[in-house]
Chains A and B, each alone.
Chain A
Amino acid sequence: MLSTHSLSFEYDEHNQLEFPDLKLQVGDNLLILGESGIGKTTLLHLISGLLKPKTGKIIIDGTDLFQLCDKQLDTFRGGAIGIVFQRPHFINSLTLGENLALIQFLGKKKADPVRINLVLDSLGMLSKKNRKPHLLSQGEQQRAAIALAVINQPKLILADEPTAALDDKNCIKVIELLKSQTKRNKASLIIITHDQRLKSEFRNSVSLASKMEILPFN
């Protein structure tokens, strides 16, 4: 499903990052742990094709990301990858339902109102379909953000610090939600976080260390 090979990235001469090789089977979940500033977000951006690595390659579902031209990459990302950002963001001029419809359009999927209702229903958000998402409560926004990530049935769901701002109870809730949604959509999930609470929730995890050595967990 996902494999990376000798990825490295440099912001400048003093800021070079190397990443361990990752391998992920279809349906697998992976937790990537690391302290702040260690390059977690950079790794996530590399995997989602938002950044280009200095060396190495990333293969998702048989597609070598960096063989694609910009436009193809945009399209591939729209169709194959769903991203849950640290802080939820939406198109403010659209309602939640319209946001989802727009993402279907951008991912080159057919307009599918049934699918939108299905996803919102599974997240308990159907009643908020016609509300502007940025006016929802924090917890609702989090769930709405998950809806955006899964609406196009991506193969890979990436979550960047989804629990950083949440208390224990909500933290577990969100992770459960992510896991169940991933399963429901037959996707793979990668969570990147510094939140040690999540360790117990995942079988597979990788820790990023400053020397970039792989510290296998359990």
Chain B
Amino acid sequence: MNISLLSIKNIASKPLSTSLSLILLSLGVGLISLMLHIDKHLQAQMTNTIRGIDMVVGAKGSPLQLILSAVFQVDVPTGNIKLSEANTLQKNSLVEYGIPLSYGDTYQSFRIVGTTQEYPALYAMQLAKGDFWDMSLQVTLGASVAEKTGLNIGDTFLGSHGLSEGGHVHEDQYYTVTGIFKSSGTVIDQLILTGLESVWDIHGSHADYERDSVEHKSGHTESGEKIEATQTDEQNHVDEYTNENHGESEDDREITAMLIKFRSPMGMVLLPRMVNENTNMQASLPNYELLKLFSLMGIATTTLSMVAFVVILVSGISVFISLYLSLKERTYEMTLLRTYGASRRQLLGMIFQEGALIALTGFILGLMLSRVGLLVISMMLKSDYSYDFSESIMLKEEGYLLMITLCIGLMAALVPAIQVVKINLSKTLADA
């Protein structure tokens, strides 16, 4: 039996007030820790998603909406832009590469995105099985899509128009699955990728589509070459083919957005302004928009953090009241301890230990709470978004949180401790 054990026994002997303090404390700590983790993971995920994309070009509208729709695939697009305009921009010497995106259809609320193979390459996607799409109306599925829909290689499905469920179904234009990506934790897990021409074909005239599909079946047709050209040499070759074969001018072709990487920082200075001022398109910088978004999110997380801190403070007060009241009851016990040889310092140690012990226990419970919360959130979000929260390492900020919590525990013990120092042994004994 020693002072530390006595502290523990003292705490355990008043289960009600102890559990009240612990519940409050762990709630506060849990909330803050949860927020820290979510904030960090979101920022890391988002920053990771915009890696390799310096600028997004799309139709005029909200720049944030453009980023959200084209990069994160969560918002509706701002509109369409002319492929010819996007291609002109892509040929600019300041541009290293541009990846065209064309979307608007979904299958079971998974987006069907027409693009080039550079898009999956941007996120270093690897195939789990099968192959990349090769012809019009062939698709490669993200891992989550394959898992959720149960589609496998060779399966066919119908896309529906619009990004929400219940849109018009493009009847008898079946997509065929040619491959499935490995899971990567990126936005592509949630997407169905196909060639640009698929999207054009589906939304083009019915006749166009029929001719296309006949040509596809016959194998060595110009249409087949067209796709090859698209994949290797970007859009300039496509132009010729579309002009020749479909009798459709390039001017009529539209895409939804283009992801652009600059060759040099000079591009950052010149191109956005050029696009915004001289074309019908809008240029949006994901880095800049994300910063704006984070600062908006910051207000929300700061508010929540403040609420959580108040909860922690209240729990500090609860620890204080519990210590103070029990000490009033225990004045005689303290005197007893003193007469049996306990020094002031030992009693002080005991009081502070009780405060610190509650704080520490509350902190650990809070961390456990936040991990459970993270688990629940990650299970909930995994089905809807590509954001994975399952990693639960200890954050540096949680170290600070521990220190703050301990400080509050010790502060709560301060006044009771002063009372203990001031106990008049003789008087207490005589009054008893």
Find chain B residues with CB under 8 A from A42 CB: 426, 430
Is the Cβ of B343 less than 8 Å from the Cβ of A148? no
> Shortest beta-carbon distance, B421 to chain A, in Å?
11
Q: How far is the CA of A92 from the CA of B6 in the complex (A)?
A: 11
Is the Cβ of B1 less than 8 Å from the Cβ of A94? yes
A107 adjacent to chain B (CB < 8 Å): yes
Mask, B330-347, CB within 8 Å of A = 1, is 101100111111111110
Find chain A residues with CB under 8 A from B338 CB: 74
> Shortest beta-carbon distance, A104 to chain B, in Å?
7
A98 adjacent to chain B (CB < 8 Å): yes
Q: How far is the CA of A71 from the CA of B348 in the complex (A)?
A: 13
Is the Cβ of A77 less than 8 Å from the Cβ of B341? yes
Is the Cβ of A90 less than 8 Å from the Cβ of B1? no
Is the Cβ of B432 less than 8 Å from the Cβ of A70? no
Which residue on A lies nearest to B334, using beta carbons?
A91
Find chain A residues with CB under 8 A from B339 CB: 48, 50, 77, 83
Given A70-B344, A101-B1, CB of A94 within 8 Å of CB of B430: no
Mask, B104-135, CB within 8 Å of A = 1, is 00000000000000000000000000000000
Is the Cβ of B13 less than 8 Å from the Cβ of A106? no
Given A45-B430, A50-B426, A104-B1, CB of A78 within 8 Å of CB of B340: yes
> Shortest beta-carbon distance, B322 to chain A, in Å?
13
Given A94-B6, A98-B1, A111-B1, CB of A85 within 8 Å of CB of B340: no
Chain B, interface SS category:
helix
Of the candidates B332, B341, B426, which one forms a contact with A78 in the assembled complex, judged by CB atoms under 8 Å apart? B341
Find chain B residues with CB under 8 A from A101 CB: 1
Q: How far is the CA of A42 from the CA of B425 in the complex (A)?
A: 11
Mask, A80-119, CB within 8 Å of B = 1, is 0001011101111110001001111111100100000000
Is the Cβ of B429 less than 8 Å from the Cβ of A106? no
Mask, A13-47, CB within 8 Å of B = 1, is 00000000000000000000000000001100100
B88 adjacent to chain A (CB < 8 Å): no
Given A50-B429, A74-B343, CB of A105 within 8 Å of CB of B2: yes
Is the Cβ of B432 less than 8 Å from the Cβ of A91? no
Is the Cβ of B1 less than 8 Å from the Cβ of A107? no
Mask, B1-26, CB within 8 Å of A = 1, is 11100100110110000000000000
Find chain A residues with CB under 8 A from B330 CB: 92
Is the Cβ of A45 less than 8 Å from the Cβ of B429? yes
Is the Cβ of B9 less than 8 Å from the Cβ of A89? no
Is the Cβ of A91 less than 8 Å from the Cβ of B336? yes
Is the Cβ of A89 less than 8 Å from the Cβ of B426? no
Q: How far is the CA of A7 from the CA of B13 in the complex (A)?
A: 43
Find chain B residues with CB under 8 A from A162 CB: none
Of the candidates A41, A71, A91, which one forms a contact with B337 in the assembled complex, judged by CB atoms under 8 Å apart? A91
Find chain A residues with CB under 8 A from B13 CB: 92-93
Is the Cβ of B429 less than 8 Å from the Cβ of A93? no
Find chain B residues with CB under 8 A from A152 CB: 340
Q: How far is the CA of A75 from the CA of B344 in the complex (A)?
A: 11
> Shortest beta-carbon distance, A64 to chain B, in Å?
18
Find chain B residues with CB under 8 A from A106 CB: 337, 340-342, 346
Mask, B409-432, CB within 8 Å of A = 1, is 000000000000000011001101
Mask, B264-277, CB within 8 Å of A = 1, is 00000000000000
> Shortest beta-carbon distance, A193 to chain B, in Å?
15
A166 adjacent to chain B (CB < 8 Å): no
Q: Which of B202-216 contact A (CB under 8 A)?
A: none
Q: How far is the CA of A50 from the CA of B339 in the complex (A)?
A: 7
Mask, A60-74, CB within 8 Å of B = 1, is 000000000011001
> Shortest beta-carbon distance, B428 to chain A, in Å?
10
Find chain A residues with CB under 8 A from B10 CB: 93
Is the Cβ of B341 less than 8 Å from the Cβ of A74? yes
> Shortest beta-carbon distance, B382 to chain A, in Å?
47
Is the Cβ of B425 less than 8 Å from the Cβ of A89? no
Q: How far is the CA of A89 from the CA of B336 in the complex (A)?
A: 7
Is the Cβ of A108 less than 8 Å from the Cβ of B429? no
Find chain B residues with CB under 8 A from A104 CB: 1
Is the Cβ of B343 less than 8 Å from the Cβ of A75? yes
Which residue on A lies nearest to B346, using beta carbons?
A106
B interface with A by C-beta (< 8 Å): 1-3, 6, 9-10, 12-13, 330, 332-333, 336-346, 425-426, 429-430, 432
| A-B contact list, 15 entries, CB within 8 Å | A42-B426, A42-B430, A51-B426, A75-B343, A78-B340, A86-B432, A91-B336, A92-B330, A94-B1, A98-B1, A102-B1, A102-B2, A103-B340, A107-B341, A152-B340
In the A-B complex, the 9 residue pairs with the smallest Cβ-Cβ separation, listed nearest first, are A78-B341, A93-B13, A101-B1, A106-B341, A102-B1, A45-B426, A93-B9, A50-B425, A51-B426
